[in-house]
Structure 1
Amino acid sequence: MEYRKIQYWQYEPGEKEERVLEAALALTLQGRHNAYLSEIASFISEHTGAKYILIGQLSEDREHIHTLVFMEDKKLLDNYTYPLKGTPCEVALAHRFCYHPFDVAPSFPEDKELQDLQIESYLGSILLSEENEPIGLAALMDVKQIENAAFAEHLITVLSPAIEEEILLLR
């Protein structure tokens, strides 16, 4: 599995964060099962405190995301497909990463879901194939500012290779 470096913050994890990152690496090495992506999403939720976790697969036409896991407060919600146009997810896919610490809903007025859920902050990261082609994304959303966004990005980066493998198996 590839490990990608954090490029967006000068960030050095503390002792507690190091233990979480080690647990994340252990999670990537365990045996796969049907609820593996849900387990990863729950792990992210638990260790970032984000209210919503989304793991999504990019559609063949590259204009939609189909959620493979959509979680609110560690509870699975129904999966759905949504258009990328006018969403922070579109930005994450275009720029490999997107972080809005506050006012994300007003920044994306076309994204009705952000309005409905009263999302204040968003952090999303692209998921890539072995050929470095976009295949999906992982995103955290919250009704308040995401705490320790640098750590949240680092955690997603550590878990991304395992998530990407799972998405590729679903294709």
Structure 2
Amino acid sequence: MITTRQLIAQARAREEAMARVEELLASASGTAHDLDGQVEVTVDARGKLLRLWLAPSAVELGERLGPLVVEIAQAAMREATQDGYNKVALLLGEDMTAMIEQMTGVPAPARAEDDDPGMTVEEFQRQRAERLGAAPPEPEPASSVEDEDAYWESFDPASLRSDR
């Protein structure tokens, strides 16, 4: 059973943690760049521009430069938002962070439905093989449970020694 003193201590700990949220968010930032490496933008969690870098070749973009800078700044802002949520989650826990997302109406970019999940290992290997001009690796046959069991039965933990 939780005592009154324990409840008070928990409430004080939460209050102290919430006071640190502002400090954590102030230290959050995000950086993004375009695919060609001509524009790089760094912003803080509030969207304040901290750094804008343009390659000398960016002048050749002409009228496309402005919209590109805005697009890159928006990507940097998503990165900064995620950085802020990551820092808050370490302090307050995932449940409290999810509650903050719901209250603010600003979901963590990693939870966005349209977030790109990245590429699979197989796709990465295929693209790497194409770049290197080699044939893509043959997919490994799916191992059966029996094969897996046999592997672990013959596994020698000494093979993990750090002096090898």
Say whether the fold is shared (TM-score over 0.5).
no
Shorter chain as denominator, the TM-score bin is under 0.3
For normalisation by structure 1, the TM-score amounts to 0.23
Higher-helix-fraction structure = 2
For normalisation by structure 2, the TM-score amounts to 0.23
Higher-strand-fraction structure = 1
Higher normalized contact order (CA 8 Å, seq sep 6+, divided by chain length): 1
Bigger radius of gyration: 2
